[in-house]
Structure 1
Amino acid sequence: MTDSELHHISDLEQLSTVPERIRQLIDERAALGELKPNGQLPSERRLTDHLGVARMNVRKALWQLEAEGFIYRFHRSGWYLSPPRFFYDPSRDFSFTKVVVDQGHEAGAKVLSTGSMVANAAIAGLLGIEAGTKLTVIRRLRFIDDRPVFVEISHVIEGRCPKLVELASTDISLATVYEREYGILLRRRELYFHPTALSDPHARDLRLAHGTPGLFVRRITDG
């Protein structure tokens, strides 16, 4: 066996242990109270020096732990310890805000933009309305415990919900606004989702790098 082959095997063995070594390091610091959920991990450089392994192997290990949901990252900010898992079923007729609160977290929202548009044929077909119908469009950033988790883009028939833009600026569930202000109880009619790669402005709003894996969800509701 050549020296290059021995070096290659050593790299593979090293890589297979790095994720567990990082996980153990995080668990130890969490047990000591030095690292809490949503707390920032040491930098890649510090982890590399501490573990005595190649920086690329540390980076690949962090990617693996991210894929497992153990840690997460913000673009140009670093890596963080994930909080306890949050469970959300978009097929159920519960507002996101209610589900967050029921699981002991704080829900938040920030309006990114508002406007209006005329429904084209594609959107009209999805909503079951006439093409040319005026729609209110509201783009909001949703949070769990101050962490941005998804961008919500709502297309609402303008005539059914006058002054919705003013009401959407409040930090409450739109489902609550529909029910309280317009007497509309939302019921899911269609749900469609697929994996995607996040691009700007969505990636930037979520503080993630362009191309970060994400999930596109289209939820059509009646009321």
Structure 2
Amino acid sequence: MTRLGQIKSIIKDRISSGTLGRRSKLPSERELSELFNTTRITIKDVLVSLETEGLIYREGRKGWYVSPPRICYNPLSRSHFEKMVQEQHRQARTELVTVRTDIAYGEYAQALEIDSLSSIHIIERVRFIDDRAVLLVENCLKSELFPNILEFDLATSLTHLFSNTYGYQTKRSKFEVFPTSAPKHVAKALGLSEGQPILKICRVNYKQDGELMDCEFEYWRPDAVMIKIDSGE
């Protein structure tokens, strides 16, 4: 086994045994390099490898921490975020970041299939699991379909709001799921460094008459979530 593999195996063993508990802070890269009598480059490679496996995560410039268990997330389910998290015996909350009305452009226009000058509402929210920011969501709505929606409490379930206020039921969705790097606004919201790995999910929703009504861009900390598809839910 290589030196990198040995160090990685030791840290993984400490995590699996509970010696390093969930969300506990790891020693600094300098301290680890001294402890294992190796270079900081080797330690960096070990930590990045463990991050890729979802065992640890970076908190901005504060350092490295042991990841809590992942949340199982079925994108096909219309269960709202808080319910999904609570059913897995964890605590959830949502904070509204910004709400704005803008002209559809770029990936917003592409996802909403808008090819003319049309306004959209963009609702940006941060979602927490056990008081840790793990998800930034951008909900993009076609303005003409949602009159006066900005007057409502947008930190609550939008699925319920769409149904109870506008009579819209999501009958079809399509998804794109891919890893990417965190843009500046996502990094700021989730306590990451710009460019760190994230999992991005784009969901486009159609209401009961087949009309496209909204899209969502979800930016997840990759160590916080496991995608589990179950069409029966």
Q: Secondary structure at the match of 1:87?
A: strand
Give the equivalent residue in structure 2 for 1:199: 183
CA-to-aligned-CA distance 1:41-78 (integer Å, 9 cap, x gap): 22222222332322222221111111111111111011
Cα root mean square deviation, aligned: 2.6
Give the equivalent residue in structure 2 for 1:155: 140
- Structure with the higher fraction of residues in helix conformation: 1
Q: Secondary structure at the match of 2:5?
A: helix
Q: Does 1:118 align with 2:103?
A: yes
| Number of residues of Structure 1 aligned to a counterpart in Structure 2 | 207
Shifted more, 105-114 versus 177-186: the winner is 177-186
Q: Which runs of 5+ in 2 are unaligned?
A: 208-233
Tell me which of the two structures has the higher relative contact order, counting C-alpha pairs closer than 8 angstroms and 6 or more residues apart. Answer: 2
* Change beyond 3 A, Cα 1:114–1:20: same
How far apart are the structure 1 equivalents of 2:12 and 2:102? 48
Q: Is the 8 A contact 2:108 2:140 kept in 1?
A: no
Shift of residue 86, structure 1, vs aligned partner: 1.3
* Change beyond 3 A, Cα 1:126–1:198: closer
Q: Is the 8 A contact 1:111 1:168 kept in 2?
A: no
CA-to-aligned-CA distance 1:8-27 (integer Å, 9 cap, x gap): xxxx8322201012223344
* Change beyond 3 A, Cα 1:120–1:210: closer
Give the structure-2-normalised TM-score.
0.76
Q: Which runs of 4+ in 1 moved over 6 A?
A: none
How far apart are the structure 2 equivalents of 1:121 and 1:115? 16
Give the equivalent residue in structure 1 for 2:5: 16
Give the equivalent residue in structure 2 for 1:8: none
Give the structure-1-normalised TM-score.
0.79
Q: Is the 8 A contact 2:15 2:21 kept in 1?
A: no
Q: Which runs of 5+ in 1 are unaligned?
A: 1-11
Q: Secondary structure at the match of 2:43?
A: helix
Letter in 1 for 2:188: R
How far apart are the structure 2 equivalents of 1:121 and 1:62? 35
How far apart are the structure 2 equivalents of 1:207 and 1:194? 20
- Structure with the higher fraction of residues in strand conformation: 2
Q: Which has the larger radius of gyration?
A: 1
Q: Is the 8 A contact 2:101 2:121 kept in 1?
A: yes
